[in-house]
Amino acid sequence: MRVYEALEPVFRLLPEVSKPARRLSLRQRLFWTAIVLLVYFAMGQVPLYGIPWGAQQYQPFLFWQVIMASRRGTLLELGIGPIVTDGLIWQLLVGSRIVEVDLTTPEGRRFFSGVEKLLAIAFAAIEALAYILGGAYGPLGPQAASLVFAQLFAASIIILLMDELLQKGWGIGSGISLFIAAGVAQQIFWELFSPMGPMADGLYYGVVPSLAYAAVAGLSTGNWTLMQSAIARRYGYPDLVGLLSMVFFILLLAYLETMRIEIPIAMPRYGGLRSKIPLKFLYVSNLPVILVSALYADIHIFAQALWTRLNPENVNPWFNLVARYNSTDAGLVPLPGSLVYYITPPRSLQAAFQDPMHVLVYSLMFIGFSVLFAIAWVETSGMDPWSQAQQLVEAGMQIPGFRRSTRVLASLLARYVKPLTILSGLLVGLIAVFSDLLGVLGSGIGILLMVGILVQYQALLAREQALEMYPMLSKLLGEER
């Protein structure tokens, strides 16, 4: 592989986390996972040095901060954005065979991971420059801009290494999933218990303090107007409707994640032993939401950077089709008629009545992209019927009543895989849109991601506990203890 030979000296210079000399125990891996999580939370509390700070109003949780696991104005400004963007592009390039990489060979795997890391570092530099040049921190001199760039770039490298640390056996799961779930949980906690206020409607920001304050005011004065406001609030503040909606959607998603479509199989080499292949009802899980959100987040980031430089007065009719903003103390607010406006999620039922066209266009685009990304991911990630059939045949399995043929098995699996792919993409898109309209705590996209990630972690922990309890099982699975 000539390209690999040319890039190998560059790969050697990239920062890397070595695998542990032996497989760590579950307790040790949980310890390192907790350390990584604490570092992540600490980085989210360290403000960037060198940017102007002033008295600003509280900014609502921006929807793309969920997928990017970022935090405004801190070392986590970029979050996992470079890693997600790099993974989205590189995985699709390789999966669609635009770039040919043989992942069955050690050299091919090293090339794949090396390019992936190189692209993540490149995207970290590009996104850091986009924030600075786009005026996200106001006007900065050359020295201050260089200092902010260095902080953002170094923080992204740390995030990249922490993700690699977990995936190479020091921890459990991946850093990307862990940071997203932690960020959503932190936002839900804030929206539940934040004592910040009073806000524009006379209540506190958090649901619990608002309800307590409204109840005390109602009992003392007999006026229950504040309680009515706390149940369904204006201005996009968290309320009781959002809390109850969050509980409903969490239970619904947890149920959907456990649903399976079982296909019977037989193993002739083991005397015709029969078993079942469980296909998840949500076949692609939350991946379509991650991909659509990453796409929208990148559009917002680069649109803001270009708008500040090219169209700050909204006078360019061509650029206005992409982005029109109103600059306020709380940041840039998208204006109707531009692409960025229609890819910004409406966060209340009130918004649906104020601008039904916004809700309609956003819903159709988000759900449509969710289905398209679901189909694209299945076709490029080895989850398609043909790839699944090849794995069954290579493992010596067949479906009772059918010949042991890859073509036959693929046609049979297609009856299940293709409808499940479209249905799961449609369902997660619908849930994300409607939960946002109901103003669920943590945002609809956040709830989708958090529930899916927690279900994955529950399965990982159950597997690790089984391997700890039954050492022979680890040998059968090829896991060295």
Please tell me the predicted confidence (pLDDT) of residue 229.
80
Query: Over 70: is that where the pLDDT of 144 sits?
Result: yes
d(CA 92, CA 99): 9
How sure is the predictor about 58, in pLDDT bands with cuts at 50, 70 and 90? very low
What is the CATH class of 244-481? mainly alpha
Please tell me the predicted confidence (pLDDT) of residue 56.
41
User: Which segment of 31-35, 237-241, 282-286, 379-383 scores lowest on mean pLDDT?
Assistant: 379-383
User: Which segment of 4-8, 190-194, 309-313 scores lowest on mean pLDDT?
Assistant: 4-8
Q: Phi/psi class of residue 334: alpha, beta or left (left: φ > 0; alpha: ψ in -120 to 50)?
A: beta
Q: What's the topology of domain 1-16+23-193? A: Preprotein translocase SecY subunit (1.10.3370)
C-alpha dihedral (253, 254, 255, 257), degrees to nearest 10: 80
Domains of the chain, by residue range, sit at 1-16+23-193, 200-234, 244-481
What percent of the chain is modeled with pLDDT above 90? 9
Task: Give pLDDT tens digits for 73-92.
Answer: 888 888 888 887 787 777 77
* 214 vs 222 pLDDT, higher one: 214
Query: Which is it for strands 273-280 and 260-267: parallel, antiparallel or unpaired?
Result: antiparallel
Say what the pTM is.
0.78
Please tell me the predicted confidence (pLDDT) of residue 368.
92
Please tell me the predicted confidence (pLDDT) of residue 35.
93
Does the fold of domain 244-481 match that of domain 1-16+23-193? yes
- Within 8 A by CB and 6+ apart from 349, the residues are 437, 438, 439
* 42 vs 401 pLDDT, higher one: 42
d(CA 128, CA 310): 19
d(CA 200, CA 10): 54
Please tell me the predicted confidence (pLDDT) of residue 55.
37
Averaged over 445-458, what is the pLDDT? 84
Please tell me the predicted confidence (pLDDT) of residue 57.
38
- Within 8 A by CB and 6+ apart from 354, the residues are none
d(CA 452, CA 458): 10
Please tell me the predicted confidence (pLDDT) of residue 61.
40
Residue type at position 197:
G
Query: Over 60: is that where the pLDDT of 271 sits?
Result: no
d(CA 298, CA 433): 19
Query: Over 50: is that where the pLDDT of 227 sits?
Result: yes
* 102 vs 33 pLDDT, higher one: 33
